[in-house]
Amino acid sequence: MDDVNGYEKRKEDHLIRDYDTVLRESALLTTFAGILFGFLLNISINAARNELEYDDRIALVVALFSITIAISLFVMPVIYHHIQYPYGDFEKFKRRSHRFVIFGLIPAGFTLYLGLELALSSVTGAILAYLLAAIPFVLVYIFFRMRK
């Protein structure tokens, strides 16, 4: 009988560790996105209308909307955990949390791109800034493809 209780205890410990991992990842991504949101919001509030070109103001607003969507998706595993807890299907929780994070990475990456474009547009022209801002993302994609 002790072996059954020991197995159940190990299974429960593993389950708690898995929950903790998913929720910590979500918290880390939410923190990162929140800091980026604060940075972009600070730029939008403190920049005088004359300091930013019209294109840059539009890019800034789109970046703020994009990072807001990313934060909302990154925090969803925590919300989902609290709404559905306790539940028996941990695999379902992991799948849904994974989808929230993956879908959140898309607007977060787009926001990073727009943030870099905003920084570069103050130094170069708008078209060149959009092209130069794509370079780090293209390199990451190439390195990702080369890993295999």
The domain tally of the chain equals 1
Q: Kindly report the backbone phi and psi dihedral angles of residue 111, in degrees, each rounded to the nearest multiple of 5, phi listed first.
A: -65, -40
Q: What is the pLDDT of residues 92-126, one digit of tens each?
A: 878 888 898 999 999 999 999 999 998 898 888 88
Range of the domain at 122: 2-146
Q: What is the pLDDT of residues 56-102, one digit of tens each?
A: 888 899 999 999 999 999 998 888 877 777 766 777 878 888 898 99
Q: Residue 55: which pLDDT band, with cuts at 50, 70 and 90?
A: confident
Centre a 10 Å sphere on the Cβ of residue 6 and count the other Cβ atoms it contains: 10
**Global confidence as pTM:** 0.78
> Looking at residue 136, what is its pLDDT?
94
